[in-house]
Amino acid sequence: MAAVSALCFALVSAVAYLFLSSAKSHRGDELKITQMALFATSVDYENSQVSVEWKGRGTNFDVAKDIETPDTISFPLKPSTTGCEKIEVNLHTSTTTAYDLGETFATWFADRLGFEARLVFIGDGSRPVLGSLAPNSPGGLRRTRLFNRVRSFLPFLAYPVERLAFNDIAHYLVVTEESNDQVSSRLTDGCKMDVTKFRPNIVVKGASAPFVEDFWGELTFEGGLRMPLTANCYRCQSITVDYDTGATATDDRGMAWKKLNKDRRVDAGAKYSPVFGRYGYCFGTATGKTLEIGQGVTVTHVNAKRTIFDWPHLTTFGTTQTKK
């Protein structure tokens, strides 16, 4: 699909890349974050299978020297939960009940991580979005536009509150090529920033300048799909990991977080960490629709000032964020 090129409202861009979001460890546990980079996940939609390949052989994290089982394991995209034990999962204090998929998978991961691990499936469950990140939550509606607040009082027009599976703290993460290029310009020795280190779902191109997305409040994709952007994504040290070794990159890419931290601590709710990208949600008629690379996208709402990150326990005012 050709990208729209005319200026419309604030900005017209195009979708440059689309990614599945990958699982990541809890913020603050740097060892587990780096090790998880050695697991590569792929999805075979035709056969409804998920495959995970461990690429840790020969690295400093190779704890499976005596393990002879294959380094790739597969399981159904929607596994059966018959006979599975239910366990409570707490992800950033947002809890849900999930299904433990058993000892075979637990052993495979534990053998390669060096500590106990369980593979769990959320099934038909979901997790609450905390703070005011969900557009149709009470907190989200308090800071949204008047039309959206009025609509929420009309039962036949109101949308249900957004919820999550295991996708961290939002449905989607949006970044721009222009901001990623600006990060690359900070690196020496010919290093370039790999945009996948930021774990985006959607990369758009055509922004008027790097980091203008800090103020974006809503994107509308060609075809009418609307995506409110409700919060900044503040960054941990995982953006410095070398995917080949599972350790911090030894060249200037290993300094990416520190270089961003000099001037990208722009969110009062996470003032000790740099911001890169915006969290987005879809709801209502957007549910079930698809996006394509090259699809036009317009910024249809620009905030007057930056939003303040307020997910409890992850903010500057919580208990886990410490000054670096």
Per-residue model confidence (pLDDT) at position 300: 95
Residues in the chain: 324
What's the pLDDT score for residue 253?
97
pLDDT tens digit at each of 324 positions of the chain = 333 222 223 444 667 666 665 444 443 344 456 788 999 999 999 999 999 999 999 999 999 999 999 999 999 999 999 999 999 999 999 999 999 999 999 999 999 999 999 999 999 999 999 999 999 998 888 888 887 888 878 888 888 999 999 989 999 999 999 999 999 999 999 999 999 999 999 999 999 999 999 999 999 999 999 999 999 999 999 999 999 999 999 999 999 999 999 999 999 999 899 999 999 999 888 888 889 999 999 999 999 999 999 999 887 644 344 444
Question: Beta-strand (E) ranges in 216-321?
Answer: 216-221, 225-234, 275-280, 296-302
Question: What 3-state DSSP class applies to 124?
Answer: coil
* pLDDT value at residue 8: 29
Q: Is residue 218 part of a domain?
A: yes
Residue 263 and residue 277 share a domain: yes
Count how many domains the chain has: 2
pLDDT value, residue 315:
75
182-220 b/e (C-beta count within 10 Å ≥ 16 → b): bbbebbeeebebbbebbbbbbbbbbbeebbbbbbbbbbb
What is the pLDDT at residue 25? 41
259 touches 276 (CB < 8 A): no
Query: Do 151 and 219 have their domain in common?
Result: yes
> 126, 154, 185: which is the final residue of a domain?
126
Is residue 147 located within the same domain as residue 294?
A: yes
The answer to whether residue 26 sits within a structural domain is: no
DSSP 51-110: EEEE--TTSTT---TT--S-SEEEEESS---TTPEEEEEEETTEEEEEEE--HHHHHHHH
176 and 301 share a domain? yes
User: Does residue 117 lie within any of the structural domains?
Assistant: yes
* DSSP assignment of 58-73: TSTT---TT--S-SEE
The answer to the question of residue 186 being in a domain is yes
H or E, element range at 34: helix 30-36
* Residue whose C-alpha is closest to residue 130's, from 99, 88, 161: 161
- Claim to verify: residue 109 and residue 247 sit in the same structural domain: no
CATH of residue 147's domain is: 2.40.33
Residue type, 95: T
**Between vectors from CA 167 to CA 237 and to CA 296, what angle results, nearest 5°?**
95
Are 312 and 297 part of one and the same domain?
yes
Q: Which domain holds residue 50?
A: 31-126
In a domain, 58, yes or no: yes
Give every strand in the sheet of 49-54, ordered side by side.
Answer: 39-44, 49-54, 72-76
Instruction: Check whether residue 42 and residue 110 sit in a common domain.
Output: yes
- The radius of gyration computed from the CA coordinates of the chain, to the nearest angstrom, equals 20
Q: What is the pLDDT of residue 3?
A: 32
Q: Are residues 16 and 53 in the same domain?
A: no
Q: Are 247 and 238 in contact (CB under 8 A)?
A: no
Is 186 found in the same domain as 278? yes
Pair 145, 251 in one domain: yes
Query: Would you say residue 77 lies in a domain?
Result: yes
Alpha-carbon distance of 100 to 206, in angstroms, equals 44
| 93 plus 198 within the same structural domain | no
Among residues 75, 110, 126, which one ends one of the domains?
126
Same domain, 175 and 280: yes
Q: Is residue 279 part of a domain?
A: yes
Domain presence at residue 277: yes
So what's the pLDDT on residue 12?
Answer: 44
